[in-house]
Amino acid sequence: MNMLKNWILSFVIAIAVFYTMDHAIMSMQGLPLNINMTPAQ
């Protein structure tokens, strides 16, 4: 059960990091994204 929690937590952290990074990097270039990652422009 501990191992399952580890895996779930790890994937949640990784997805959160990459999702946030994608939004940040694209916004910095003046290319905002919607929540579903589609171009906002």
Partner 1 sequence: MSPLKSLTTARLSTGSNQSALILPRAMQTLFVLFLMLSALMLVPDLAWSSEGAIATEAVVEDVVEHEPAPVMGPRDYRQIGSMSSRSFVWVIAQLHLFLAAFVLAVPLFVTVIEWIGVKTGDQRYDDMAHEFMKVSMTAYSLTALFGGTLAFSLFLLYPTFMGYMMEVFGNQVMVYALLFFLESGVLYIYYYSWYALRYGNKKYIHLTLGVLLNGVGTTLLFVANAWATFMMAPSGVDDAGVVTGGIWDIMRGPLWNPLNLHRFVANIAFGGAIVGAYAGYKMLSAHTMAERAHYDWMGYTSNFIAVLAFLPLPFAGYWLMAEIYAYSQQMGITAMGGILAWLFIVQAVLIGTILLAANYYLWNGMSRCAGSSRYTWLIKYIAGTLVVSFLIWVTPHTLILSAKEIAALGGSHHPLLGPFGIMPAKNIAVNLMLIGTFLSFQLYRRSDKVITVPWAGFGNALMVAIYLIAIANVIFLGVYYGYFTNTVYKVGSSVAQVMSTLIVIISGVVIDTMMFKGAKTLPVKWGQISNRGVYALFALPIAFTWLMALMGYVRSSVRTHWHVYTVMKDNSVDNFIPNIGHAGNMMTVATISFLAIVLFIFWVASLGDTKQPKPEKIANPAQ
Residue 39 engages partner 1 in binding (rule: CB under 8 A) = yes
Instruction: Give the Cα separation of 41 and 13 in Å (integer).
Output: 28
Minimum CB distance to partner 1, residue 16 (Å): 10
C-beta separation of 10 from 4 below 8 A: no
Instruction: Give the Cα separation of 40 and 25 in Å (integer).
Output: 14
Residue 20 engages partner 1 in binding (rule: CB under 8 A) = no
Q: Which residues bind partner 1 (CB under 8 A)?
A: 2-3, 6-7, 9-11, 13-15, 17-18, 21-22, 25-26, 29, 31, 37, 39
